[in-house]
A and B are shown apart, each in its own frame.
Chain A
Amino acid sequence: MEQITIDISLKDKMLALFEKNKQLLFKNNSKSMIDIKNNAIAKFNEIGFPHTKLEEWRLTNIEPYLKAEYQHHLQTKPIDVDIESIFQCEVPDLDTFVVVLFNGRYIYKHTPLTKLDNGTIIGSFEKALEEYPEIIEKHFNKYAKNDKNGFVALNTAFAQDGIFIYVPQNIIVEQAIQIINIINTTEEVFVQPRNLFIVEKNSSITLVSCDHSLTQTNSFSNAVTEILIDENAQLNHIRVQNKGKNSTLLNTTFVEQKNYAMLTSNVLTLNSGFIRNDLDISLNGEGCEANLYGIYLADKTQFVDNHTFVDHLLPNSNSKELYKGILDDKAKAVFSGKVMVRRDAQKTNAFQANKNILLTDEATINTKPHLEIYADDVKCSHGATVGQLDNEAMFYLRSRGLGEDCARMLLMYAFADEVINKIPIEALRVRLGNMVSKRLRGELSVCDQCVMHCNSKSPTQFNIDLSKL
């Protein structure tokens, strides 16, 4: 087990760690993959960790989070944990195929790599590298941009394990795949999972990613996910983030869409320590569709940062973006949405909206929806609002006999519902709706941080009798 304590600079430590463990990191890697990793570490050496002088990180000060003394585990060792003993998903009626990343490593009960009857492969990235090197080699690092920031380059250099999903052509995967990402350790860990999802032509799949931390120790997670959605394929990606206040999560996702590919992404951030979601989408085909939805609820001193980048490279694609946030106490949120329409991307439709409610004077929101457009036959718009609950709506509800708290709850829930009702899986939609309403009532903070772990078997009822309306 390799351990390193951070006292000089994390950057130097990381470089040293890489030098020292090349053998481990390059295990089963082909020549071209080794080149990629060497280039990535060189890139990291060149650009280092991002800092607030960079435009993209102006409002996201990551530096304090790099100071903790994290443990890095590079040694591969099958982890023998009974998944069900530590984690039970209690979303009623949710029929999913569950895979688990535990402290950044893939854990399993029977086999690290499952091949379903229809040819779909789901399992550990590390194992896939052993068994399907040609698929990995074809796609690894083809969509990620190591020059985006130092964290991406670092992740590429240290890519060992993560989730690997491969859907062959013409397959519709009926059952949703649920990816549970748990941090549960008494150590302060620095984990760098690397995920690769390939959806081949005419296929379709739904993924539910859940990020949880079960303990209160400091942890740093630098995850990079690469996704290819090939022609006519479809991916629904739902992310639920419910992290402890001492956890730092950087989630960078690169999506490449080919002709007529469709992506629906929902990001629901319910609790966070420090979360940054980077969603980088290349619409590298005609007639693509990308729908991005997000909601973030933050209180205390939580920090949520959503950066999205939608790059329209070719004609006739549509993108739609809706992010909403409710901020309480001293929470801080950042939203930066960028839509780029390249010269060839005529007939593009791109819409973007970011709406926020601030509940206290201490909460802060920074929003920056921007457009860069080089084609003329396009329709693009963006909007951003920051405000409070509508006084007239409030008055309407109160005049009908609702108490102030009830009325406020109802309005906040309605505000959030616009995003929640976009979730394609009904069981999950209902459950998340309940989670959000509980979250808005502040109940989850008394729970043990983990939503899924919640003891109440029956879904919580919304405490407003709607028949009164």
Chain B
Amino acid sequence: MENDKNNIIQELTQGDYKYGFVTDIETETSPIGLSEDTVRYISAKKNEPEFMLEFRLKAYRHWLTLTEPTWAHLHHPPIDYQNIIFYAAPKKQQTLNSLDEVDPELLKTFNKLGISLEEQKLFSGVAVDAVVDSISVKTTFKETLSEKGIIFCSYSEAVKEHPDLVKKYMGSVVPYTDNFFAALNSAVFSDGSFCYIPPGVRCPIELSTYFRINAANSGQFERTLIIADEGSYVSYMEGCTAPMRDENQLHAAIVEIIAHDNAEVKYSTVQNWYPGNKNGDGGIYNFVTKRGFCKGHNSKISWTQVETGSAITWKYPSLILKGDNSVGEFYSVAVTNNYQQADTGTKMIHLGKNTKSTVISKGISAGKSNNSYRGLIKVSKNAINSRNYTQCDSLLLGDKCGAHTFPYIETNNKSSIVEHEATTSKISEDQLFYCLQRGIDNESAISLIVNGYAKEVLNKLPMEFAVEAQKLLSISLEGSVG
């Protein structure tokens, strides 16, 4: 049986990354390297108003004063920021009016990825903003949404059409001074999604952004801003893939979410960047700053993430619970295989009264990978009657992988209750035996157990994603039992 297991591990851990193709699309890129000129180039290329350029330059100058953080449980060769193309966009001659004008190659790419940009897919009920390399290529269902007053467009469009909103909220949750990668992103971010839900509106369909890195040697720096005004609701999803390349590519994004009084935002990610090959060559460095701000009373933000890709993941979707009675949730499944490294978790900063947060994190490590949970629960003095429950479990598949937890808990008042629980173990022999005994073969049994283990989180995903996530999970892991 040991042999069997090993075979299955081999088969599956060597399974191909099916999104690894490269599309031949003409792209327009900025000169390689980073300087103030690059920043100006990007801003000029995008015809940005003056305030954006100022913001970028401020961020760039601040970035120069910073050094790359080293505290994470990650190892990688130093990144040469002068050897990265900071801006790459599919070349286009004029503004697109209809889908017919979209580069057919591009359409093919998205069809291949299983994402339809075509309007007839209306009934699938998902509005998609597709971002290739640095640029948002197509946003679907814009008209339907605008009827309700919902703004869902690319960041560059928002900068031009809704500068007041952008000015007001950009950098209000993740300031450019926040950290090294946030400063970098603020200086060179290219595009991303912008979403505004007006007061009292419940967004009727799921909003989704699909990110794709295509150009070689390029970094992707996108920015997402979601604003849920009073009493509104939105469910937002993002997905991402990249071609297989031998060199590492950098992805440093920022996501900012603001929830006003009684608003609710549900943010789901299935992150499937190219993880590198089985020898640990190539793959995406995914260094992302995501933060939500429960600004209003009774607001709620929930993060759900399935992390299967990227050579290195460095990501802590966080929440600042400022409004009284606000609720924060974080559900995460992080899977690492081969030489992947993940240092991920969350921060819950309780500032308002009666704030509640739940953290469920499931780490699965296989191969020679390292998977860390790093979290902070901070309860300030005024956050009376706050409540936190944290559970982080790690599953080890194989004897060369590592699973780590670094939870920080800081409590400053007497009426709050904070609980943290963590376990680390391998797949239970008993469970495996039980399944085998009932005639379920080894591979299915393991898949069953792993899926059951992650179920708690997968259940929180919107329908469309749950299916994809489950498939991903089995591709990344099936059979990798030690």
- A residues sitting closer than 8 Å to B (CB atoms) are 55, 343, 346, 356, 358-388
Contacts and interface: CB of A to CB of B under 8 A. Distances in A.
Contacts of A376: 396-399, 401, 426, 482
Interface string B158-196: 000000000000000000000000000000000000000
Contact of A373 (B381, B394, B407): B394
A358 B418 CA distance: 11
Contacts of A372: 73, 402, 404
B279 interface: no
A379 B401 CA distance: 15
Contacts of A358: 411, 413-414
B405 interface: yes
B5 to A, nearest CB: 12
26 contacts: A343-B399, A358-B414, A360-B414, A361-B412, A364-B410, A366-B409, A366-B410, A368-B409, A369-B407, A371-B424, A372-B402, A373-B424, A376-B398, A377-B399, A378-B396, A378-B425, A380-B425, A381-B421, A382-B405, A382-B421, A383-B419, A383-B421, A384-B419, A385-B420, A387-B419, A388-B415
B51 interface: no
Contacts of A343: 399-400
B404 A370 contact: yes
B476 interface: no
A383 B420 CA distance: 5
A363 B410 CA distance: 11
B250 to A, nearest CB: 26
Interface in B414-471: 414-426
A373 B424 CA distance: 8
A77 to B, nearest CB: 47
Interface string B346-388: 0000000000000000000000000000000001010010000
Contacts of A379: 423-425
B420 A388 contact: no
Please indicate which of the listed interface residues A55, A377, A382, A384 has the most CB atoms of chain B within 10 Å of its own CB: A384
Given A343-B399, A388-B414, A388-B417, 4 more contacts: A367-B420, A375-B399, A376-B426, A386-B409
B458 to A, nearest CB: 23
B425 A384 contact: no
B81 interface: no
A304 to B, nearest CB: 15
Interface residues of B, number: 38
Contacts of B418: 384-387
A373 to B, nearest CB: 5
Contacts of A356: 411
Given A380-B423, A385-B419, A373 B408 contact: no
Secondary structure of the A side of the interface? strand
Contacts of A365: 409-411
B409 A371 contact: no
A370 B401 CA distance: 17
B71 to A, nearest CB: 7
A383 B422 contact: yes
Contact of B407 (A346, A360, A370): A370
A129 to B, nearest CB: 41
> Shortest 4 CB-CB distances between A and B: which pairs?
A376-B396, A387-B417, A384-B420, A380-B424
Contact of B399 (A346, A359, A383, A384): A346
B403 interface: yes
Q: Which of B379, B406, B409, B424 has most chain A Cβ within 10 Å? A: B424
Nearest to B421: A383
B272 to A, nearest CB: 25
B476 to A, nearest CB: 17
A361 B423 contact: no
Chain A CB count within 10 A is highest, among B71, B398, B400, for B400
A360 B405 CA distance: 29
A378 B395 CA distance: 10
B424 A381 contact: yes
Most buried by B among A55, A381, A388: A381
A384 B409 contact: yes
Contact of A370 (B381, B405, B411): B405
A196 to B, nearest CB: 33
Contact of B381 (A359, A361, A375, A387): A361
Nearest to B420: A384
A368 to B, nearest CB: 5
B275 to A, nearest CB: 20
Contacts of A387: 416-419
Contacts of A360: 414
Contacts of A346: 399
Nearest to B412: A364
A370 B420 CA distance: 11
Contacts of A374: 401-402
Nearest to B379: A386
